[in-house]
Structure 1
Amino acid sequence: MVKIFTPAYGTALEAMGVPNNHEMSSAAVFREAGWRALLQELTDDYVRMGQRDGKCIDGIMTHTFRCSPHFVNSHVYDFNRLAADVALSARERYGNREMKVFGVVGPMGRDCYDPSQAPDSVKSIMEYHHPQVEALKKAGVDGLWPETINTVREGKALVALAKDYSLPVYLSFVLDKEGLGNVRNGTSFSEAIKEIDSMTGAYATGYLANCSTAGNIKTMLELVPKDGLGHRIGGFYPNASNTDPGILDGCDGVHQDVPVKDLVGFVKKAQQDYPGIRWDGAWVSGCCGYGKDLEELVVAFK
């Protein structure tokens, strides 16, 4: 059975009146008590989505995608702690002990679709992300969840950091704009898995794709099992739009080309079409453009 985690926060918070064009980007929510209250309300609603007969979602993501040094400077520790507290509080009140809280980490740079913003040195990338990973570990998250990662070198750095901190980790890549099912920097998804597994002793629990079109994710799901690596796929969560995410970056809202009912069908068909992937325990959800409407996905698989 697939596992479901909370959908993206950014577009949902925008709809609730929280601006996303601040210099701190989505991390600005932690500057105002009223905005933090809206984040808590949204997280609580996410955790309660589709609950019935003791069944509920399986994972909560912290709203820390932009809580990194580039965006929040000296606030790395307090903002990540506040975000973890929101997720842990929602689990305590509305979840259960089996529900995992994952600490989300975004890529370096302001444009998460530009691979050139990550330096060539894995060590330098590790040094950049170290404060946030340490803050999330101290805040009590159950695991690390780097997402929208656009280069293999940054993937290596983040899995290595998770290993250093003994944090379970799932690593999620954003895919190429050509629709070939590759990592954003052009490396094949299978090669990315091989390189990172080789460096880290296959420490990552699984690899995912997010913030990409459903069509591009489908291509990735077709290709990776052919290389004998289907068992390393840990799930996926596409955008609601069929437009490349690099074009959408910075836009207000995301047009929903793929309604939730179609996402449900996409997940079901993927399980049928790609038996080489380890679907039992794979994580699925929705990225940009989805919100509380994702309850339909929870109901379908819980």
Structure 2
Amino acid sequence: MKIISADQVDSLLDFPMLIDELARAFSGGVRAPVRHHHTVERPKGADSTMLLMPAWSDFAQDGFEGDGFMGVKIVTVSPDNNLVGKPAVMGVYLLSDGKTGEPLALIDGQKLTLWRTAAASALAGRYLARQGAASMAMIGAGKLAPYLIRAHAAVHPIRQVTLWNRNAENAEKLAMELAGEAFEVTVSEDRAAAIADADIVSAATITSQPLIEGAWLSPGTHLDLVGAFTPQLRESDDEAVRRSTLFVDTFGGALKEGGDIVQPLEAGLIDRSDVVADLAMLCKGEHAGRSDPDEITLFKSTGASLEDFAAGCLVWQRLAKPTG
């Protein structure tokens, strides 16, 4: 069994290839049950959460060739880890042979998650962002932010990226990290102006108070909401939801876990029918995505085991058969 490090994941993946791989996975050929949540109670301090995210090749699908793969991501969330200088989220991905179950690789889970999450947002943006989108606002400057920016830039001709973060120093550090990219990067303290001027607004934060107000959105904006991964968290306000056509990565995840969708549903602001499509429907051509240049679109991502599976398989295939 191979051990594949975070650095190796970075060296083996690129966004154009991964985005296309996710599109194929969402179009069919993968079985991906809803992820398992387990609370690990602690006598002292905050409880931990264990997440199990399985997926496997769908051998029942007509035309499936080869033995395929099986995989599972094991993630733990331990809020008290910051007290000992460790990330709150830990994870590994176990990829196995689809026929024998033989373990093939143990892949760094944190890095795989960054890549697949950003690629899923960019895949959605392929259908939902305005053609020729050239400007982007990134709300949040955490580890996911540079991946989201590069992923969207792999799909659209992004020329200008504006960063906003509660801690401006962290935004400045991200701007330095992105220096030399094919787009100009600036840091702004004016969140409303950054959002109003952007074709694509991506947010990756852990906030319970919305940071994106619908009044700031210009016609044709695409909202990419990646943070706020529990029902209690939320990145967009009611007006942003009301003005937008709503899309999700998976109905099973976003309608139960994504606060940007769950809270408006519970408040009666929207109905279930207002969430018009998920990524599978977009990839299969069952929904066309954006219908008008002035339409405001909102994509809510909560993550799916299918995404990890597609990314893990691609990592293994690139490792086994490196390309030029």
Larger radius of gyration: 2
TM-score, normalization: structure 2? 0.32
User: Relative to total residues, which structure has the larger strand share, 1 or 2?
Assistant: 2
TM-score, normalization: structure 1? 0.34
